[in-house]
Structure 1
Amino acid sequence: MSDFRRVTDEFTTAPQISLADVAEAARLGFRTVINNRPDGEDPAQPSSAEMEAAAKAAGLAYHHIPVRGGPTPDQVEQTRELLSTAEGPILAFCRSGTRSIVTWSLAQATSGARAPDELIGLGRAAGYDLSGVLGG
């Protein structure tokens, strides 16, 4: 099973998950999966289409917002909009989980949902350093 890192009751990040991890996520109560990994970064990673099929088979909503490097303002806005409508809890993943938590934290900060200091603390507790992204 992948390394699911709870950030809040409604949002968890993970490094690359397997197709089997999708069913485990559903069993654990997740309702939505966000894939922040572009297809083809690693020949061994499942494709977005495979992940989507596994999510749908497990009864989960699936969204693909591929981020290369740092998230763009459009990707942050897309994530912000998704967070406001998606059924939680949400599991977001990429290669290491970093792009997922960075994109989420920027969406939270720009919407005013959470203050940068709170986000830095939540990131630290989940094993991510957001101070460079959020100016802490």
Structure 2
Amino acid sequence: MPPRPLSPTVWTSPQLAPGALADLAASGVQRIISNRPDGEDPGQPTAAEMEAAARQAGMTFDWIPVTGMPTAAQAAAVGDLLADGRPTVMFCRSGTRSAAAWALSERLRGADADELRAAAAGAGYDFSRLPL
């Protein structure tokens, strides 16, 4: 499944394979943010493996593992990274935690909650109950 757009510079995705990162870099993606804790599922690539693949593809890699709902600190950390506007793909197991971290980070910066919910819905996420 290709990454789904949340904004002009941020996309979300289910678990990425290390081999897919070169194609993302070739499409203009400059950064990968993983919101997936290591060891969540057997056989998933580790953050270190994903970081190595991202760097090999010429991208930066940041790891902000989220279990359950992103905390305010995690959302702020995501927001700090995204503030520079660099094209970024965020991922977790399904993409939902990453999309929630993005929405919460944008809300911390004053974005309208309804607009964030609409953007998430456009990417296939129902955040009607997410406390934004």
Query: TM-score of the superposition, structure 2-length normalised?
Result: 0.95
Contact 1:13–1:91 under 8 Å retained in 2:
yes
Task: Show structure 1 runs of 4+ deviating over 3 A.
Answer: none
Structure 2 residue aligned with 1:104? 102
- Counterpart secondary structure, 1:12: strand
Q: Which amino acid aligns with 1:45?
A: Q
Q: 1:118 aligns with which of 115, 120, 125?
A: 115
Structure 2 residue aligned with 1:132? 129
Q: Which amino acid aligns with 2:98?
A: S
- Counterpart secondary structure, 1:91: strand
Contact 1:120–1:134 under 8 Å retained in 2:
no
Q: Which amino acid aligns with 1:51?
A: M
**CA RMSD between the two structures:** 1.1
Q: Which runs of 5+ in 1 are unaligned?
A: none
Q: If each structure's helix is expressed as a fraction of its own residues, which one has the higher value?
A: 1
Question: In structure 2, what is the Cα distance between the partners aligned to 1:8 and 1:107?
Answer: 13
Structure 2 residue aligned with 1:92? 90
Q: Which amino acid aligns with 2:12?
A: T
Question: In structure 1, what is the Cα distance between the partners aligned to 2:27 and 2:13?
Answer: 14
How far did residue 28 of structure 1 move?
A: 1.2
Structure 2 residue aligned with 1:70? 69
Structure 2 residue aligned with 1:45? 44
- Counterpart secondary structure, 2:83: helix
Question: In structure 2, what is the Cα distance between the partners aligned to 1:44 and 1:24?
Answer: 22
Q: Which runs of 5+ in 2 are unaligned?
A: none
- Counterpart secondary structure, 1:133: coil
